[in-house]
Structure 1
Amino acid sequence: MVRSLHSLFDAIANARNEQELRLAVTNTVGEHFGVERWGLYLSDDLSTVDVDVQTIPEVCLEGNPVGRYVTERHAPAHEQLILAPGDWQHFCSRQDHAHVMSGPIVCDGRLVGTLNLARADGSPAFDANDLADLSALCLHLSAKLATLRAKPKTFNSPSVSRLTPRELEIAELVAQGLTNGEIGEKLFITQNSVKQALKRMFRKLGVSARAEMVAKLQDIVA
C-alpha cells in the first residue's frame, strides 16, 4: 500500500475545477487506503460526467453513528472509534462494508460533502494512521474546494446567487469567449452538457443570449 499522500496533495492543488478535483481523489484514494469501495460526494455538484468509481450506498452512511459523528463534529471517524466491537453490523450488514470510515468536506463553515471508504469482511479495521491520513486529505480537499467555489471576480451582480458553482464556472468561461466545445473540453463534459446547462442558466437569469447573460452577471446596464 502506498503510504505517502504528497502526490495526492499535489494533484488536489493542481485541480482546475471540481471534476479534476474528484478525479484526483478517486483515481488513487482506493489504493492508498487499501479499500474495496470508496466515494467522494459533493453537494451541488451538477457535473454530468459519471466517474467510474465504486461508491458506498447512502443507506450505509445516512442515519448511522458514523454519519452522525461526521455531520455533527465535522471530523473524520470510523466505526470502531465510536462503536463497540460488532455493533456496526447492526447498522450495515453488507460483507463489503465490514469496516467504514468517513471524513468531512467543509466549505464556508458548512458540511458540503464527505469522503467515504469501506473495507470488506476479513480486511483489517481502520486505525489511527488511517484516520490521520483521512483528516489531512479532507483538509486539503476542503481548502481547494473553497478556492474553486469562490465567486468569480468577473461577476458582481446579485444575479450570481441564482447560479450553482458549476454554472458560474461555465459562465466564467463564456465570459472569456470560449465556445461550447472549448468549455466542454476544459470541464471534461460533453458539448451537449454545456448547451443544456446554458439553457438552465438562461431560464434562471431571464435572458436569451450568451452576451446578455454575461452582461447581467456583470451588472452592466444596456
Structure 2
Amino acid sequence: MVNSLHAVFHAIANVQNEQEFRLALTDKISDHFGVQNWGIYLLDEQPTAEIDVPGIPAVCLESNPVGRYVVERHAPAHEQLLLSPGDWKHFCSRHDHEHVMTGPIVCDGRLIGTLNLARDKGNPPFNGNDLADLSALCIHLSAKMATLRAQPKISNSLLVSPLTTRELEIAELVAQGLTNAEIGERLWITQNSVKQALKRMFRKLKVSARAEMVAKLQDIQVSSRIIL
C-alpha cells in the first residue's frame, strides 16, 4: 500500500499542467483505493447547473452530506463517517456510488476542487485508513495545484488546446469511441451536460463533427510540442 501511494505522489509531482492530472493518475487512484469510479472536479470548470451546494459539484443528489462536510471543513469524508450504514442510499440511488469518499483540493485558503471516489455495490465501505490516505493525497494535489496556478500566465498561451481541462477529458473519451451517455456515466455528469459541452468545444475549435474535433486536437498537440 505504501509503495502504491508513493507512486501516486510521484505522478502528481511530475504533472506539468492541470490538463495532465487525470491522465497521470488514472490507474494509480483506482489500484490504490480499489474504486471503480473516481474523478477530479475543479470548480472553475463546472457550469452553474452542475453545482450542488455553494462551491462543490453535484456528485450525486442534492443535499449531499459528504459534499457539505468537505465544503464546510476542507477535510475529507466518506458516507459512513457521517451516516448510519445504508443511509447513503437515501441520498444517492446510483448503482456505482454504493460507497463514496470525497476530499478537498485547496489553494490560497479556498476550495478549488474535489477528489471523489466511489465503489460499486458488493465492495467494502471506505475506512479510516482510506480516509488517511485520501487526506495525504489531497495535500499533494493541493500543493501541486497551487504551484501550477502560481506560474506566469504566459505559459497559458502554450497549452495544448483552447479547451478547459474538463473539455479535454471529454475529448479523450470521444476519441476512445464512447457515446454521450457513456461519457456522462464515466464523468458523473448528465448526458445533456456532455452534449452542451461538445457544442462549446465544436465552436472553440471551429469544427462540426466528433472525428474532426479529435483530429484537430491531435494536430494542436503535435504543434504545441514542436513549439515547446
TM-score under structure 2 length normalisation: 0.62
The alpha carbon displacement at 1:95 in A equals 2.2
The alpha carbon displacement at 1:43 in A equals 2.3
Q: State how 1:1-222 maps to structure 2 within 5 Å.
A: 4-45=4-45, 58-60=58-60, 63-152=63-152, 169-171=155-157, 173=158, 183-184=159-160, 196=204
State the alpha-carbon separation in 2 of the partners of residues 60 and 69 from structure 1.
14
* Identical aligned residues as a percent: 67
Q: Partner of 1:111: helix, strand, or coil?
A: strand
The alpha carbon displacement at 1:45 in A equals 4.2
Q: Partner of 1:100: helix, strand, or coil?
A: strand
Runs of 5+ consecutive residues of structure 2 not aligned to the other structure: 47-56, 172-200, 206-228
State the alpha-carbon separation in 2 of the partners of residues 42 and 104 from structure 1.
10
Higher Cα Rg, which structure: 1
Residue pair 1:61, 1:67 contacting (<8 A) in 2 also: no
State the alpha-carbon separation in 2 of the partners of residues 73 and 170 from structure 1.
32
TM-score under structure 1 length normalisation: 0.63
Residue type at the aligned position of 1:135: S
Residue type at the aligned position of 1:170: N
Q: Would the alpha carbon gap of residues 109 and 61 (structure 1) be closer, same or farther in structure 2, given more than 3 Å must change?
A: farther
State the alpha-carbon separation in 2 of the partners of residues 20 and 61 from structure 1.
29
Residue pair 2:4, 2:28 contacting (<8 A) in 1 also: no
RMSD: 2.9
- Corresponding residue of 1:178: none
Q: Would the alpha carbon gap of residues 36 and 2 (structure 1) be closer, same or farther in structure 2, given more than 3 Å must change?
A: farther
The alpha carbon displacement at 1:32 in A equals 1.2
Q: Would the alpha carbon gap of residues 23 and 62 (structure 1) be closer, same or farther in structure 2, given more than 3 Å must change?
A: farther
The alpha carbon displacement at 1:169 in A equals 3.5
Q: Would the alpha carbon gap of residues 82 and 125 (structure 1) be closer, same or farther in structure 2, given more than 3 Å must change?
A: same
Q: Point out 4+ residue stretches in structure 1 off by more than 3 angstroms.
A: 187-190
Q: Would the alpha carbon gap of residues 92 and 61 (structure 1) be closer, same or farther in structure 2, given more than 3 Å must change?
A: closer
More helix by share: 2
Residue type at the aligned position of 1:31: D
State the alpha-carbon separation in 1 of the partners of residues 102 and 61 from structure 2.
8
State the alpha-carbon separation in 1 of the partners of residues 58 and 45 from structure 2.
16
The alpha carbon displacement at 1:184 in A equals 2.5
Q: Would the alpha carbon gap of residues 61 and 105 (structure 1) be closer, same or farther in structure 2, given more than 3 Å must change?
A: farther
Residue pair 2:66, 2:82 contacting (<8 A) in 1 also: yes
